[in-house]
Structure formats: structure tokens, C-alpha cells
Chains A and B, each alone.
Chain A
């Protein structure tokens, strides 16, 4: 019997059998992942390689699908909150915020000013720790084994700080509709005030050792050219779109919390390449420190949780809302639909990584395999939030 199928089409699985190879029969079909040291989670990319050049790339998702959105329909509004920390555990406070913001909009719940400032402080600290981990992991992908150790050293301080205030080191369920769960411990603000100059002093060292390094620059510059119209087509947000020249930041575009009262810049680069995205995130580290400085000065006394905040079996009024925040990876959105019962009718989570990853198939065509690794790293993907 004549086989018109290639070897990959006889064996392999659903995805590799339906992977179109394109006109050139001489390509090597390779699976990058789901277990792979540099795909930041359980991501599988089917590649058609011609030597080292990628002819076609197709990400396959779903290896980490945990049905968060389905879980929302079976939990109360407060009971669902811990899920948010697990969606993207690297910037858990932002996901917390998106959710409690949606619940607050739904229920018309006010938030005390002190709680708003606490939210800003913890969110920005979390953003710094997320960017530090991204930085370390990106350099690990590129072959430098040392910066991740240095980054984690700084990150430990942040994790200890956030543990003292919330109880968790990573998956914070710290925010509540109507405020935050706990008030700050007595020494917290002083420790944050000590952390800011410490981190500021580390940044020049990172720049001199890593950012200015020739080898790194050659791995990142002109790699992954991402024009703005492509960002718009895929709905990319966050440092990805700011690295292509557009200064879109949800904290300024759709202001929430006390961000309108805080002064900070939006780092933007015009180079459209991986280096641009890298520099945007390093710039954001500095801006986070600026925000933290202002917030610890301006934080008022007061309550941390409004009186009459939703109790566990709280029923939301009928309606639907959407609330978006700026996460470390982009625009995090939560669309809540309520039918008046104590569990949401529908909770749609907009993960920035999903839109950012969709770029990859088009972006990686024609690049070298090593460049694909660099591009993936520069997109700062966290697969748990992509798969939810």
C-alpha cells in the first residue's frame, strides 16, 4: 500500500499530524516542549526547521489548562479569589486587583484610601519581583547562568516583604473587595524605604554586567522585529507593545486606584526588537521604584478594609463589568457577569500572555532557532496565565 504520509504524519499526535509542512519537503519537524528548559512553563511549539532556520512555528497550548474560568462558576465571589493568585503567580497582586476591581465595580463598593495605597505598594513590589525573575530567566535561556542568581537575591527581599504583609511568598490572595486583607505590619514601610535605595544601587550593576554586554546585545538587537500594526492585529499589550513604540499603559489609559495621583513615566522604546522590550522592562524597574517612593510617602492612616465589605456568601447585584489593570506582562482584564446569586455566572479572564504568544508564530518565521528562544524570552510569557 502506498503511503502518501510522511513519517511524522503516521506517528506523532493530533497536532503534529496536522502540522502543515509547507512546500519544502526537506524540513525537520521538531517539538520544542512541552518539556523544555526554556519555554517558561508547559508550552509546546511545533517547529519546521530547515537547518537552523524556522520555516513555520505553531504553538500548541492547553498543557496547563486548569479551568479557572469554569471554577469561577462554582465558587463564591470571595472563595474564587485565591484562584487569581495562581493564574499568573508571578504578578499575583495584579490579577487579584483585576478581580476585586471587577467585583467592586459590580457591587458599587468603595475602597479606603489607605487600602488603595497598600494595593499600589504591593502591586509595584510584585511587579519588580516579576521583572527580576523574567530578567534572570531570559538570561538563563541565552546561556548566562549567573544573573538569575543575583536577581533572585534581590527578589528574596521582596518576597520576605510581601510575606510579612500577606502571609504568602508567591501566590498572594491579599486583596479583598473593599480593600486589602490585612493592614501593614509596623516595620513594613521602613523596610520598603530601605529596599528602594538598595535596589537602585543594584540596577547600574545589572546594566554594566548584562545590558551593555556585547554578546547579549547581539542576541537581542534586531531579533524579533515587531511592527506596531502587528501588535494591533494580535492585541499585544504591555512591554511588548511599548517596545514597539506605543506608550500604552492601562494605569494611564484607563486609570484605576490612586495611580492618577502618582507621577511616573512610561518607558517606551522604538526599536521594535527584543532589545527594545528588554530595555522597556528595565526602565519599568526604575519607574516602579519611583512609584514606591511616592506611595510610601503619601500613604495615609485609615482602614484597610471598608466596613460592610462583602462577606463570604455575598450576593452580587445583577449585571456585568469589566476591569483592567496593568500587569507585568500587559493588560489583565476580568469580565464578570452576575445573575444575582452568590456565585458568578461567568468570569472571563483576559490574559496578556495569550495575545502576546499569538504573535510568536508570525514573528518566528524565518528566524534562527536561537533567535526563537530569544524572542520567546523577550515576550515574557507565563504559560499558566495563557492556559488558565
Chain B
């Protein structure tokens, strides 16, 4: 029973946050670019996401000529549906975890790899060389960046001694120096960069590089199919920021009045940072992107892990 309620709550959370994020992104982008962003629909454009959703739903759904029907239509569904289990182990509040499990981090890491499958299906099934290129880039990028991500999370697991996210939060305190980020600043940095790459956000947004590949792997999608990819990307962003909050920033703990509002505040601060980075920096070239991973992030995260292991053993 609890799990059913939890699933419904999670879906509602994703939907609501998706709307908020769409609005946030467009407003922040606008203000960074010296313009107001959406303004017409509702007060200061607050109803814009709803109207956007309505527009996407109302669009004609068609299959491109020669596209593999099954793969083409399955890709956005897979992309979106498979994000839902990622929210299960995340501790939103002291009692607000969908399902307490002692392998929460493993679940998240395992399921986040399926996003890749959806991208591949989209890229191949579109019968479009540009989509294929986008999908190929996405595969290499995702696979490469999963490793330092894993190692960074492992470092935190070493210091906390647990793979359970709710326990990790409980072990931290309310004040910033009691958060895990004080113990593992490098891991946080590595995690955040890998999170940007995993969610295909700028400056690592080559798979959907608008000015190079028209739109990358979702070139041929329109209407709600595109909407699902869009939502899936935002849901992914929310997941990685939520996990970062739980692992590094003390989760729902706060100096005063600990609770779910602290969790949301920290999560949104990280989301703001992600959006800010997107609209500031140019895109990293693909081989440079992989270079950053293999030559910098991987050795650093390995060194961090070794150091953590050593220090945990000693102290």
C-alpha cells in the first residue's frame, strides 16, 4: 500500500517539479540574457509551462519515413518511465522516503544507466544520420562519465559506512561544516561534473547540440514524444541534484527546523547552478569531453577514493 502511495506521490512530484523547472529555466535563461523571459501568459509568465504542455500534447504525432516504429515510439516512453524508480530511495524528509532500502545508491546507479538505452533507441530508430551521431556521442559520454560518478559516490559511502541514502542523511548534521561536502569536497565537485555529463546538460550537451546536430537524438521527435524526453531530462536533473543533496549537502537536515523544505531548498540551489552553467558556457568538444573524463576525473576520483579508504582505515 505504501509503495503505491509512494509511486503516485513520486509521479506527482516529478510532474510538478517538471513544470517548475521549465519555468525556472526559461526565466533564468532570460535574465542571464538580459531579457525578461516568459511574460505574457499569467502573471510574469507563471502559466507558461502549462500552456507549453498543452501545446506539446496538441501536436500531431507522426512517424518519420523509414523509422523503426517500435524503437521510435518506445524510446521516449522508456526514457521517462525508467526515471520513476530512481526516486524511491531518496529521503525527502525524516519520514518521507518512498521505500527505505539499504542499497539505495546501487539502485540509483543501476537505473540511471537505462537512460542510455532510450537514447540509443531514439537515435537508431529515427532513421536520421544526425540522430545517430547524437546517440553515438551520448553513449560514449554517458558510459565514460558513469565511472567517476560511481567512484565519487563510493568515497562518500566509505566515510558514511552505508549505501542507504536515508542513513547517510541522518549521519550528517544541520550545519554546513557537518555536511559530507566538508569531508569530501573533491568528491562533490567530481560528482557534480559527472552529473552534468550524465544528464546531457551544457557544457556537456553534445548529444543534443542544437547548433551542430540540429537537435541530436531527438531531431525527429515532436509533440508529446519530445515532451517526454524533455520531462525525462528534467527528471534526471532532479534526481542527480536530489542525490547530491542527500549525499553531500545534508539532505533534509538544517540548522533549525529540519525538514523537507531544507531538502527542496538545497536541491533547487543545485538546479539553479546547473541552469546557470548551461547559459554561461560554450559547449565542450567531444574529444575534449572524453579527455576531461579519462585524464582528469577518473584519476582524481581514484586518488580521492584511495585517500578516503586510507584515512577511514587509519582513523
Q: With the chains together, A370 CA to B282 CA distance in Å?
A: 12
Residue of A51, A52, A153, A213 near B281 (CB, 8 A) is: A213
Give the chain B neighbours of A145 by CB distance below 8 A: 29, 33, 278-279
Q: With the chains together, A190 CA to B4 CA distance in Å?
A: 71
Q: Which residue of A lies closest to B212 (CB)?
A: A373
Residue of B133, B205, B282, B285 near A213 (CB, 8 A) is: B282
| Closest CB in chain A relative to B189 CB, distance in Å | 15
Q: Which residue of A lies closest to B287 (CB)?
A: A368
Q: Are B282 and A149 interface neighbours, CB within 8 A? A: no
Residue B71, interface by CB 8 Å = no
Enumerate A282-302 residues with CB–CB distance to B below 8 Å: none
Q: Are B212 and A38 interface neighbours, CB within 8 A? A: yes
Q: With the chains together, A143 CA to B206 CA distance in Å?
A: 9
Interface size on B, residues (CB 8 A): 31
Q: Are B212 and A215 interface neighbours, CB within 8 A? A: no
Residue of A36, A143, A369, A371 near B203 (CB, 8 A) is: A143
Q: Are B285 and A28 interface neighbours, CB within 8 A? A: no
Q: Which residue of A lies closest to B210 (CB)?
A: A37
Residue-wise, chain A 17-59 has the 8 Å CB interface mask toward B (1 for contact) of 0000000000010100000111000000000010110000000
Segment at the B interface, from A64-72, A115-123, A134-142, A161-169: A134-142
Residue-wise, chain B 281-308 has the 8 Å CB interface mask toward A (1 for contact) of 1111111100000000000000000000
Q: With the chains together, A193 CA to B206 CA distance in Å?
A: 43
Residue A218, interface by CB 8 Å = yes
Residue of A37, A146, A216, A368 near B32 (CB, 8 A) is: A146
Residue B145, interface by CB 8 Å = no
Q: Which residue of A lies closest to B291 (CB)?
A: A218
Give the chain A neighbours of B35 by CB distance below 8 A: 149
Q: Which residue of A lies closest to B203 (CB)?
A: A215
Q: With the chains together, A301 CA to B129 CA distance in Å?
A: 62
Q: Are B210 and A215 interface neighbours, CB within 8 A? A: no
Q: Are B214 and A144 interface neighbours, CB within 8 A? A: no
Residue of A30, A38, A139, A218 near B285 (CB, 8 A) is: A218
Residue of A51, A143, A215, A218 near B211 (CB, 8 A) is: A143
Q: Which residue of A lies closest to B204 (CB)?
A: A143
CB contact under 8 A between A142 and B33, given known A30-B129, A37-B210, A369-B212 = no
Q: Are B202 and A143 interface neighbours, CB within 8 A? A: yes
Residue-wise, chain A 86-105 has the 8 Å CB interface mask toward B (1 for contact) of 00000000000000000000
Q: With the chains together, A150 CA to B31 CA distance in Å?
A: 11
Residue B130, interface by CB 8 Å = yes
Give the chain B neighbours of A30 by CB distance below 8 A: 129-130, 133
Residue A219, interface by CB 8 Å = yes
Give the chain B neighbours of A140 by CB distance below 8 A: 211
Residue B34, interface by CB 8 Å = yes
Q: With the chains together, A146 CA to B31 CA distance in Å?
A: 10
Q: With the chains together, A153 CA to B283 CA distance in Å?
A: 23
| Closest CB in chain B relative to A149 CB, distance in Å | 4
| Closest CB in chain A relative to B284 CB, distance in Å | 6
Give the chain A neighbours of B114 by CB distance below 8 A: none
Q: Are B33 and A218 interface neighbours, CB within 8 A? A: no
Enumerate B195-221 residues with CB–CB distance to A below 8 Å: 202-203, 205-206, 209-212, 214
Residue B312, interface by CB 8 Å = no
| Closest CB in chain B relative to A214 CB, distance in Å | 9
Q: Are A36 and B34 interface neighbours, CB within 8 A? A: no
Give the chain B neighbours of A371 by CB distance below 8 A: 285
Q: Are A28 and B29 interface neighbours, CB within 8 A? A: no
Give the chain B neighbours of A144 by CB distance below 8 A: 280-283
Q: Are B33 and A149 interface neighbours, CB within 8 A? A: yes
Q: Are B279 and A146 interface neighbours, CB within 8 A? A: yes
Q: With the chains together, A218 CA to B288 CA distance in Å?
A: 8
Give the chain A neighbours of B34 by CB distance below 8 A: 149-150, 153
| Closest CB in chain B relative to A199 CB, distance in Å | 16
Enumerate A215-272 residues with CB–CB distance to B below 8 Å: 215-216, 218-219
Residue-wise, chain B 118-141 has the 8 Å CB interface mask toward A (1 for contact) of 000000000001101100110000
Residue of A146, A215, A370 near B286 (CB, 8 A) is: A370
Residue-wise, chain B 216-240 has the 8 Å CB interface mask toward A (1 for contact) of 0000000000000000000000000
CB contact under 8 A between A146 and B33, given known A216-B282, A369-B133 = yes
Q: Are A52 and B203 interface neighbours, CB within 8 A? A: no
Q: Are A143 and B33 interface neighbours, CB within 8 A? A: no
Residue of B130, B206, B282 near A139 (CB, 8 A) is: B282
Give the chain A neighbours of B206 by CB distance below 8 A: 370
CB contact under 8 A between A370 and B285, given known A30-B130, A144-B280, A146-B280 = yes
Q: Are A36 and B282 interface neighbours, CB within 8 A? A: no
Give the chain A neighbours of B281 by CB distance below 8 A: 143-144, 213, 215
Given A28-B132, A52-B137, 6 further pairs, Cβ under 8 A: A36-B214, A37-B212, A38-B212, A140-B211, A143-B210, A370-B285
Q: Which residues of B contact A (CB under 8 A)?
A: 29, 32-35, 129-130, 132-133, 136-137, 202-203, 205-206, 209-212, 214, 278-288
Instruction: Give 17 A-B contacts (CB < 8 Å), ordered by A residue.
Output: A28-B132, A36-B214, A37-B211, A51-B136, A52-B287, A143-B211, A144-B280, A146-B33, A149-B33, A149-B35, A150-B34, A218-B284, A219-B282, A219-B285, A370-B283, A370-B285, A370-B286
